[in-house]
Structure 1
Amino acid sequence: MQIVTPEFGLIFWQLVIFLVVLFLLAKFAWKPILSSLKEREDSIETALRMADQAKLEMQLLKASNEKLLAEARQERDRMLHEATQMATQLIDQAKNKATEEGGRMIVQAREAIQNEKNAALAEVKNTAAQLSIDIAERILRRELTDSAAQQQLVDSYLKDVKLN
């Protein structure tokens, strides 16, 4: 059982070695280890703060991007609305111009038809008058070859004419 129960000398030397190692570690190792742990803790804290700041900046950029996108959509909608209005105005102007031009052409056509009608009526009147004159001339030549017939015709015309 001696292996299980340590003697006083063994415990003493173990205690001395432990205290020496503890002193050496405290003198040379603890400060650098603690300072490196402190630096590590500080760098992690800084990195976390920077990550939070980057997250906030990303949220601001996202909000800004959404705002810009909304403005771009509004601008696009406004431009589409203006383009639609301009197209409608151009179509209306073209319709009005076509209507005016059609009306003007109809008026010109009516005037031309009226002028042709008047010219045709004048031609018919002239032709009818010329035919009447030719027929009357032929009838008068035939009837007026005799002087007694001429005298009788003059007398009948004089009876028809009423003198005031």
Structure 2
Amino acid sequence: MGLLENFSSGLFIIQSIIFIILLLVLRKFAWKPIMDAVNEREVTIVDSLNQAKLAKQEVLNLKAENEVIIREAKVERDNILKEAREIKDRIVGEAKSLAQTEGDKMIEQARQSIQAEKASAMSDIKNQISTLSVNIAETILKQKLDNDGAQNALVENMLNKSNLN
């Protein structure tokens, strides 16, 4: 067994030397790139977390801005509705005023028309009364003046009155 033990311990020493050489080679050529990759990954993760925090803050800011915009929109909507109500009230008031004015004009025109028709009717009645009066007087005079003596007395009476005046 001596040879096997020598071979085994020699193999162990060779394997240990190869392992140490492999560690030195890995340290020189692979360890730095692996550590750089790990560090780069760590930086990327930290940057991603910071960007996530910034995005979250930005979302909160946008939400606050949206709430402000919504409040302003509601105020503007209320102002527009108030203005629309005022315009409606003004238009209704103007329409009422115009209707009142037009109604007053129509009433005044009707009054004037009634007055004109009344004056025309009064004039027509006066004409009819005067015509009727003349006809009545003519009839009465014809009856009273059927004889010549009454006619002569009437003419003399009229002449005397006109001479006096």
Specify the alignment match of 2:104 in structure 1. 103
Range 69-78 or range 34-43, more displaced: 69-78
Question: Which runs of no fewer than 5 residues in structure 1 stay unpaired?
Answer: 152-164
Cα separation, 2, equivalents of 1:77 and 1:41: 53
- TM-score, normalised with respect to structure 1: 0.77
The CA deviation string for residues 111-135 of structure 1, in whole angstroms up to 9 with x for no partner, is: 2102211220221122112211221
Specify the alignment match of 2:20 in structure 1. 19
Cα separation, 2, equivalents of 1:149 and 1:25: 172
Question: Which runs of no fewer than 5 residues in structure 2 stay unpaired?
Answer: 154-165
Specify the alignment match of 1:125 in structure 2. 126
Cα separation, 1, equivalents of 2:113 and 2:57: 82
- TM-score, normalised with respect to structure 2: 0.77
Query: In the alignment, is the contact (CA less than 8 A) between 2:145 and 2:151 conserved in 1?
Result: yes
Specify the alignment match of 1:39 in structure 2. 40
**Deviation for aligned residue 1:35:** 2.0
Cα separation, 1, equivalents of 2:46 and 2:150: 151
Alignment root-mean-square deviation, CA: 2.4
- The aligned runs of 1:3-18 (5 Å cut-off) are 7-18=8-19
Q: Report the identity percentage.
A: 42
Q: Give 2:113's aligned amino acid.
A: A
Structure 1 runs of 4+ aligned residues shifted over 6 Å read: none
Specify the alignment match of 2:163 in structure 1. none
Specify the alignment match of 1:84 in structure 2. 85
Q: Give 1:102's aligned amino acid.
A: G
**Deviation for aligned residue 1:41:** 0.4
Cα separation, 1, equivalents of 2:82 and 2:107: 37
**Deviation for aligned residue 1:148:** 5.6
Q: Kindly tell me the number of residue pairs found equivalent between the two proteins.
A: 147
Specify the alignment match of 2:69 in structure 1. 68
